[in-house]
Amino acid sequence: MKLDAARLDDLKVEGRRVLVRVDFNCPQDEAGAISDDTRVRAALPTIKELLARGATPVLMSHLGRPKGKVVESMRLEPMGARLQELLGSPVLRLKESTGTAVQQAIAAAPRGTTVLLENVRFHAGDEGGDAALAAEWAKLGDCFVNDAFGAAHRDHASVCGVARLLPSAAGRLMEKEIAAFSKVLDEPARPVVAILGGAKVADKLKVVDNLLDKVDALLVGGGMAYTFLAAQGIEVGDSLVQTEQLDAVKAALEKARRKGVAIHLPVDHLAAERFAADAQALACGPAIPDGRMGLDIGPKTREAYAKVIAGAKTVVWNGPMGVFEWPAYAGGTEAVGRAVAACEGFTVVGGGDSVAAVEQFGLASRIDHISTGGGASLELLEGVVLPGIAALKRA
């Protein structure tokens, strides 16, 4: 999974307009203010380098799901304002992303200015991969840089379409993401431990199948663990079980046995009578009694998982161990997060909930790589070639 594409160093950018696909899809509060500027900060190295090399960066991003219509609350003005603060240089925020007026504004932008186009998803053709729309965007730049790892798994006009029309390269963030996952999936230091959580096992079965060829141990938590336990005949009460996936899970368990991969499942739980933040937690296990549903891994499981993680040379984590948003059921995710943070091996965290968890528990600075792309990182773990990267290769 090496980056088989041009890099920023390979592009002649001096005095040129450089279209840069960034991912400024930042969370906002009810007033529209950015509540987490991580994605804006992640784009800074590429933007600053382009400015230093005498280029005019022309940034393209989506925000939310406007479904091809102009939605005032999904304009990129707050991201542009924050970017200008972080850069300390002018950011020209445009109200459109195509057309003659946009072309003229870019041409007139003084040297040292970064241009931010309006939300690309205000055009329905973006998500549809419309070639004509991609051609309109291509008119705005002399070359293209994809630095939006979080959108690299989408064959959209602003991600892949433009890359096929202009000299293209990966940005510094894209390079960093690919390098981190390559270090996990290609030639990792062993032992390799993968930690998978989240609600539904169906969302992670392809990941499990691919990782069983690459890891030494797999730790399973979250709602998906109960389908694994049920597949082994363990009673899980009213916990979430995807019965239609039981055969697939049994096949995964058998593959792990053949490969010599240790799959670790919860041996105890925190369970509740109802799915609610204030539901009283009952410690139980390994079985969960009828009328109770598992909402977090228990203390014995936390200790066992931490021990496995401590001995790892490479760790990749995607998905929480329980309903960590609720304080009563956050302990399992926090324990795993602290074990990953303390691990002396190379550690990667991907997936929105896992990233939110390490931020929530103040552990982010102790993780070697925190991915900016939930869906993209998941597809990499599945072994998928991301179309946004493949388009750069073709270019």
Active-site residue identified among 352, 373, 374, 388? 352
What is the pTM for the complete model shown? 0.92
Residue 13 forms part of a structural domain? yes
Give the pLDDT of residue 68. 96
Q: State residue 328's pLDDT score.
A: 96
Note if 200 is an active site residue: yes
Are residue 320 and residue 291 in the same domain, yes or no?
yes
Same domain, 185 and 163: no
Q: Are residues 190 and 240 located together in one domain of the fold?
A: yes
Same domain, yes or no: 260 and 135: no
Q: Which residue type occupies 128?
A: G
Same domain, 66 and 16: yes
In angstroms, rounded to a whole number, what is the distance separating the alpha carbons of residues 109 and 112? 8
Catalytic choice (41, 48, 200, 393): 200
pLDDT for the residue numbered 5: 76
pLDDT of 352 reads 77
Say if residue 23 is in the same domain as residue 68: yes
Check 128, 129, 375, 383 and give the catalytic one.
375
The question of whether 375 is a catalytic residue gets the answer yes
- Do residues 226 and 240 make contact, with C-beta atoms less than 8 angstroms apart? yes
Same domain for 298 and 370: yes
Instruction: With respect to residue 212, please indicate whether it lies within any of the assigned structural domains.
Output: yes
300 is catalytic: no
Residue 294 bridge partners (DSSP): 271
208: tokens are 């499990």
Q: Does residue 195 sit in the same domain as residue 151?
A: no
Q: Domain total for the chain?
A: 2
Q: State which residues form the domain around 72.
A: 8-173
Query: What pLDDT shows up at residue 84?
Result: 98
Cβ atoms < 10 Å from Cβ of 285? 19
Q: Say whether both 48 and 156 belong to one domain.
A: yes
Quote the CA–CA distance of 360 and 362 in Å, as a whole number: 6
The pLDDT score that the predictor gives to residue 3 is: 61
Catalytic residue chosen out of the listed positions 39, 75, 214, 338: 39
> For residue 374, what pLDDT is reported?
84
The yes-or-no answer on residue 237 being catalytic is no
Q: Are 149 and 372 in contact (CB under 8 A)?
A: yes
Segment 306-343, tens digit of pLDDT: 999 999 999 999 999 999 999 999 999 999 999 999 99
Residues 169 and 257 in one domain: no
Last residue of a domain, one of 148, 173, 198: 173
CATH number of the domain residue 184 falls in: 3.40.50.1260
Q: What is the pLDDT of residue 351?
A: 81
- What are the residues facing 169 on neighbouring strands? 145
**What is the CA 308 to chain-centroid distance, rounded?**
24
Cα gap 77→351, rounded to integer Å: 26
271-293 per-position pLDDT tens digit? 999 999 999 999 998 999 999 99
Instruction: Note whether 294 and 163 are same-domain residues.
Output: no
Same-domain pairing of 142 and 279: no
Residues of the chain short of pLDDT 70, as ranges, are: 1-3, 394-395
